[in-house]
A and B are shown apart, each in its own frame.
Chain A
Amino acid sequence: MALLEIDDLRVTYRASSGDMPAVRGVTLSVATGETVGIAGESGCGKSTLASTVLRLQPKNAEVGGTVLLDGQDVQTMRWGHLRAMRWNDAAIVFQGALHSLNPVQRIGDQIAEPIRLHDASVSKAQAAARVGELLEQVGLPSARAAAYPHQLSGGQKQRIMIALALACRPRLIVADEPTTALDVMVQAQVLDLLTDLVHDLGLGLLLISHDLSVLGTTCDRVLVMYAGRVVEEGPADRLFDHPLHPYGGALAAAFPRVGDPVARFAPIGLPGDPPDPRDLPPGCAFHPRCALGTDICTRTDPALEPLGIDRQVACLHADEGRDMKLLLAQRVAQRSQERLAQRAEATS
């Protein structure tokens, strides 16, 4: 049994202005020692999905399907039981974590709080010792426990958030955009830290990001979400190098390989905006922005189907197994060639 098993999860926000389906049938599992990534742009439902893992979704959200944490149904269990599972079995590092520390409390006290709340037998001194241990685990000197958040840099605050998530020795960590506000060097440090923790403590990690290149290097498997659905799933490195869905291709191409002549003066973007979940286009939800869309895409909504041994994709045009990143790049390359020629002419 996997640590986390989500089966056909559906989340709809009820509002007076109409129902908004945020997650429309997602199935995934995370095993011990495994890192699973979820990629997608804002509004695709990835943060809503994360919130259901510990039943943190807002009151107006109606949840269908099942979320099993350690084999127990999170969405239907008794409140007291759920409260005991939060922090102890799974913990979440939220997006914008840099602003979620209390500015007027020492960080040591903030980390000790969940430890003592979840186990009344822990004395103050024992909690302080555990805080020191946690800080060292995330690569900070234990003396930093006396610091206030404003005395720490962005990378250090992110380490504190990870130490907090580890406080009650959970087996699953959900990290929602843990490196988005950080710059490259600090991002590399934080990702290294997460990878080491997964390895050393045998954690399960669900990593959420819009940056497919980050997921490609840290995860075992990646799911790409679009408009509340998984449109592509596969081993992380292969999905990043050879995406099979045009949307996966666009996400992968957004972060070019430095030195790749195809990407020079040819940034690849995706025209248009994500659809309004209240008013999804008919057929495949991605077709209005798709470079390969044909007539049939406007009528048929493709299901997620296996392709090859370990890949799944929801696209009517994916059957040939073409590399969508390459395909997009070729389209833009011509534009780039023209631009370079123009510039050469202008310079000479």
Chain B
Amino acid sequence: MTPGTRDLLSARQLHVTFPGRGGRPDAKGVDGVDLDVESGEILALVGESGCGKTTLARSLLGLEKPSGGEVSYDGSSLAYDTRSLRSYRRRVQLVMQDPSGALNPRHSVYESVAEGLRIHRVVDAKRTAGEQVTETELVSRALSQAGLRPPERFFLNYPHELSGGQRQRVVIAGALAVEPEVIVADEPVSSLDASIRGEILALLLKLRDELGLSVLVVTHDLGLAWNIADRIAVMYLGRIVEVGTTEEVLSSPRHPYTRALLSVVPEIDQIEPIVLHGETPDPTRMPSGCRFHPRCPALLDGTAAEAGIEADCTSRQLPVLTAGGDHRAACWLPGRL
């Protein structure tokens, strides 16, 4: 398996707009995004709550129909009829944030994992292809790939009988059972204890190495990205504002927003913390110019004025960062774009 040779899942000029109700303006959840997930890579999509990262992930999964632009998979653009979506979802699977909420409390582990197999008629498809398998074998295999061994021991357990880490492994096994090529994991460890966190992250790395899976991890946790991601895309208010390899983005961040995010990670004490005031602004009222300018530390401390770009920051629209290529940031400061 050779990583990074092929763009598996791509977004081009993607827009997702939610219509405003009662005369309110539309909310632009995703406002022009170009992004590639390459085969065999782990890409971390990071940003604050409300920045649109979950909406972007949902539209990549085909759960949200874009209002503009397109999602393409393996070179062909995604169609939104039931049939195509069904076959698409077998290839791109979602692992949800909260394992306790994602599992049906009245389904045993076996049933939870087998559900996807039944929906996608995986056993029939394999038999037609001449492979003699049973559902039980596939469920066992998925559970042991997810690190629940021996798998038979867990078949008849219900979610309440499992620990948080085991539940998350069952959710991952459910996704693995249908043999996807891409896994989208939305905050896979944020609801787990510190001690279990590392184990689940190690599992994602192992799946990539052993099965060649691509993983898109949606998270606000930069430590997680440093632990497992090959590349990072930083999102702010519907746009990707910085993209590059994990080393580039986290060791020499170019966007003032990425710098601020990094400075508040509790373990980093070398940098003076830049605590941004206020929360993510409102996606129904996009600021003019650079969308980060109302909170931008570079504009506040005069760095922007020194570079003579203040007017650009407040009034000139930035281009959408194109996918692929080097380390870039959507910022008017010299040398950042």
Contacts and interface: CB of A to CB of B under 8 A. Distances in A.
Nearest to A188: B264
Q: Looking at chain A, what size class is its interface with the partner chain?
A: 35 or more
A250 B195 contact: yes
Interface string A251-273: 10111111110011111111101
B293 to A, nearest CB: 17
Nearest to B47: A183
A271 B199 contact: yes
Chain A CB within 10 A, most for which of B201, B250, B261, B276: B201
A309 interface: no
Interface stretch (B87-95, B116-124, B148-156, B266-274): B266-274
B227 A267 contact: yes
A154 B280 CA distance: 12
Given A183-B49, A270-B199, A255 B3 contact: no
Nearest to A209: B194
A185 B262 contact: no
Interface string B238-266: 00000000100011000000001110111
A258 B276 contact: no
Contacts of B194: 41, 210-212, 250-251, 254-255
B279 A273 contact: no
A225 to B, nearest CB: 12
Contacts of B279: 153, 155-156, 185-186
Contacts of B300: none
A347 interface: yes
A163 to B, nearest CB: 17
Contact of B264 (A187, A264, A271): A187
Given A155-B279, A256-B227, A346-B1, A273 B166 contact: yes
A81 interface: no
A253 B223 contact: no
A270 to B, nearest CB: 4
B201 A269 contact: yes
Interface stretch (A14-22, A213-221, A316-324): A213-221
Given A211-B194, A214-B266, 4 more contacts: A156-B279, A254-B194, A258-B267, A343-B209
Interface of B: 1-4, 48-50, 163-166, 193-202, 205, 209, 220-223, 226-228, 246, 250-251, 260-262, 264-269, 273, 275-277, 279
Interface of A: 41-42, 153-156, 183-189, 192, 210-214, 216-217, 250-251, 253-260, 263-271, 273-274, 339, 342-343, 346-347
